[in-house]
Structure 1
Amino acid sequence: MPAPIRDRLPRLLRELAKFGTVGGVAYVVQLAATNLFWLVLDAPPLVGQALGVLIATVVAFLGNRFWTFAHRARTGLGREYLLFFLFNAVGLGIQLACLGVSVYLLGLDGPLARNIAGNVVGVGLGSLFRFYAYRQWVFPDAGEPEAAAPGPQPESAPRASEPS
């Protein structure tokens, strides 16, 4: 195994384990909230799913910011919160697409089918996207400032002591 990969692997695995733990807690919160909205409050499928995800997102942000990625650069609470919710909105879109296909295209609308489509398949695919996005843009590595925000970065001006 190449040295750069071998040296980074332990940290990546620690982050992945913490991300999974935080995600597991947020997942339980999301399952409970979503099913509460569906079964107790009789919310429509997509509304109940969206509200459950919103509640779980707050739990996930706190766990990821203060535990999973606590060792990474702090780029400002407002910026991190905004990007976290933006990328969670994309993850929610992935989740809702899975649920929508199941309910509205395939006609699988029972509680089990909803949970499998939205809370297993949708969460799994959305989580892969979220982990990448959080590491890359929300909580960038302190040693990689170019990963601080998506898109092109402005070039910094040379210091007086540096040749132009």
Structure 2
Amino acid sequence: MSDRWQRLLGEVWRFFAVAQLATWVSFVLFNVLAHGWLVGRTLMADQPIGAYVLANSVGMVISYHGARGWVFPHRPPQQADGGWTAYVVINLLAMVLPVGCLFLTRHVLAMDSALADNLSANGVGLVLAFVARFYLFKRFVFRRPAEPPVPVVAPS
């Protein structure tokens, strides 16, 4: 396997590991807020999409620091804010996928169980968002530094 493929697979694996940590935090927080898991009292039962966005915003902070420090440390920030603004924008755009799945399940299919919420948003939606985020983060946030141009030497 070439060095390029090994490096890509390493990045995918580390990105997946960071995403798993952020996802588990988001998953637990969403279910605490929307379904009362672990606390017995539902705090945002009538606002599952708001609970999902809040929980995943916490996960976003975790994933940024993991991606910046462990997944892509060899790709120095190209933006003054370390890529944070682009990271947030991409996360919010990618969040449309699981939120759309949750909306579809809740409002079109009229399914509001914890199982339905988690299969749609934290299953199908997150898989779609994972693929989109990996590509977009690598392309726009954690870019490889630009290669210096090769000088052209005119014949003398």
TM-score range, shorter chain: 0.7 to 0.9
Matches within 5 A, 1:39-58: 39=36, 40-43=42-45, 44-58=47-61
2: distance between equivalents of 1:9 and 1:126? 23
2:17 is the alignment partner of 1:21: yes
Contiguous gaps of at least 5 residues in structure 1: 146-158
* Residue 35 (structure 2) pairs with residue 33 (structure 1): no
The residue that corresponds to 1:85 in the other structure is: 88
- The equivalent residue for 1:74 is 77
The count of aligned residue pairs is 146
Q: Name the CA shift for 1:69/1:110 in 2 (closer, same or farther; >3 Å).
A: same
Q: Which residue of 2 aligns with 1:114?
A: 117
The partner residue of 1:62 within 39, 61, 65 is 65
Residues 136 and 76 of structure 1: CA distance in aligned 2, closer, same or farther (over 3 Å)? same
**What RMSD in Å do the two structures reach over aligned CA positions?**
2.2
Percent identical among aligned pairs is 29
Moved more, 74-83 or 125-134: 74-83
Unaligned runs of 5+ in 2: 37-41
The alpha carbon displacement at 1:143 in A equals 4.5
3-state SS, counterpart of residue 107 of structure 1: coil
Relative distance call for 1:104 and 1:144 in structure 2 (3 A) is farther
For residue 39 of structure 2, what is the aligned residue in structure 1? none
Normalised to the residue count of structure 2, the TM-score between the two structures is 0.85
Identify if the C-alpha distance between structure 1 residues 143 and 119 changes in structure 2 by more than 3 Å, giving closer, same or farther. same
Comparing both chains, which one has the higher relative contact order based on Cα–Cα distances under 8 Å and sequence gaps of 6 or more? Answer: 2
Distance 1:144 1:14, change over 3 A: farther
Kindly provide the CA deviation profile for residues 113-132 of structure 1, in whole angstroms up to 9, marking residues without a partner as x. 00000111111100100000
Q: Deviations over 1:71-130 (max 9, x none)?
A: 113213515000000000011111100111111111111110000001111111001000
86 and 162 in structure 1: CA distance in 2 versus 1, 3 angstrom threshold: farther
Contact 2:14 2:70 in 1 (8 A): yes
> Could you tell me how far apart the structure 2 residues matched to 1:86 and 1:105 are?
27
Shift of 1:142: 2.0
Aligned AA (1:17) = W
